[in-house]
Amino acid sequence: IDLYKGSEDLNNKCIRILHPRSFIDDPTRILRAVRFEQRLGFQIEAKTLRCLKDSIRKNLDLKVKPPRHFAEFKKFFLEADVSKHVARIKELRGVRVLDSRGNIDLETLNVVVERVKTIRQNKDYDKAGRWWPIYFFSLLEKKNTHQLEKLSKEVQLDNFLSLSLMQIRECQSVIRQLTNKAKRDSEIYQLLKPFTELALLYFYARTDNGLAIKRIDDFVSIFSHITLDVNGDDLKNMGYPSTDVIGQALELLLLKKIDKKLAAKKDELKEAQILLKRRFSRNMENMNGTNRSGESRSEEGS
């Protein structure tokens, strides 16, 4: 028994709602209808399409709580042909969960989708579930800080996603610096260190420049794993005077280790000795001079 002629609709590759209030009762069905239309190569039946458009015109989609709305919209980023799915729902004005005016960046999405296809040929990068945020970010890269903060709060992104989303605004600036051949490895380390792994992956997907790609690769696979063999006690025993100075010295030593490829602890100690003489000796002299002046004033006062 086929009361609703479902077999006929399947044969005709047609998507049809069962009753006129379907999208009113649950506006997230709008998103599901479009996903199934694009994924299966079906067509939304004429009356159903009119009801869908009418529901959007009446802003019924905006009555869905943003976290639930976004959870449904996120499924577009998990489809095989992300660009086609998002383009269709944008055409129907169904992207207002991301932007109240429906302004999203399809051009950047298309670029990222093609770039990701290349990246995923590398098994080290092809990890299931990590790509949907990259597609999501690409639609919003050109938004300002206020817009991103507002969206992040409304759809209740977790802290990691929210931070990563805010960081993508720096994408073009970062890529320009990565393509500067004069940059040392330590400068690349300092440039990329503040960013989340997800933001770095987004930068990776936003450029096809060989030098920029190599430098992100180097940071992720090499530089971010480099640590010092020397510690604060070693520097204290060498004559470094204070915790602040020792902290600064350790930071500088790490950068020198990255640039000079220091392989052994003895090499680090040698660099630490050079730093002590060249960079911190004047600070130490000033500190000693201040102490002596204070002692003299104390003696005069007594």
Per-residue model confidence as pLDDT tens digits over 132-180: 999 999 999 999 999 999 999 999 999 999 999 999 999 999 999 999 9
* Residue 282 pLDDT class (50, 70, 90 cuts): low
Q: Which two tokens stand for residue 270?
A: 């040698």
Mean pLDDT of 102-119: 95
* Residue 127 pLDDT class (50, 70, 90 cuts): low
- Taking only the tens place, the pLDDT of each residue in 13-42 is 999 998 999 999 999 999 999 999 999 999
pLDDT of 193 > 80? The answer is yes
| Rounded Cα–Cα distance for residues 235 and 245 (Å) | 10
Q: How many CB atoms lie within 10 A of CB 250?
A: 19
Say if residues 182 and 213 touch (Cβ distance below 8 Å).
Answer: no
pLDDT at res. 267: 94
pLDDT at res. 302: 43
Burial class (CB in 10 A: 0-12, 13-18, 19+), 53: middle
CATH topology of domain 105-223: cca-adding enzyme, domain 2 (1.10.3090)
pLDDT at res. 150: 97
pLDDT at res. 4: 58
- In the chain, the percentage of residues whose pLDDT exceeds 90 is 76
